[in-house]
Amino acid sequence: MNKIIVTTAILALGAAGTAWAHHSTAMFDMKTDVTLDGTIKDFQWTNPHTWIVFDVPNASGGLDEYGIEGMSPNYLSRNGWSKHSLNPGDKVQLVIHPLKDGRKGGFNVSVKLADGKVIYNLPRAPGQTPENTR
């Protein structure tokens, strides 16, 4: 009987660690902002996190594809977003916290739409802009 209890406890702790790691921002450089100009390829309004696939022109004349993680649809909808906030083909400017390992991706800070309106992914104090969110 004790073996079953110990095994169950170990499995439960292992699963809890996996769940905690899933919601970690450890992979992102949260102290660095990178500004990207490009085109929305896809916007996935999915749980637990939204996802932006973003094409950015590169120096070779081609496109670099970035994967950008965002907050949940529930959180974003309470902050003025909808599943139609970003659409394929939209030309926007993203501010992201980049991936620490150098891959083309990151965590969304804000999006500046073509009309100049800025929508924020992360919480911010009144008067904060992407430039002073640290």
> Could you tell me the two tokens for 130?
């992407």
Domain positions in the chain are 25-125
Encode pLDDT of 58-68 as tens digits.
999 999 999 99
Tell me the CATH architecture of domain 25-125: Beta Barrel (2.40)
Residue 44 sits at the vertex; the CA angle it makes with 51 and 38, to the nearest 5 degrees, is: 65
Task: Report yes or no: 34 and 110 within 8 Å, Cβ to Cβ.
Answer: no
Encode pLDDT of 43-54 as tens digits.
999 999 999 999
| pLDDT band per the 50, 70, 90 thresholds, residue 25 | confident
Radius of gyration of the chain (CA): 18
Task: Report yes or no: 100 and 29 within 8 Å, Cβ to Cβ.
Answer: yes
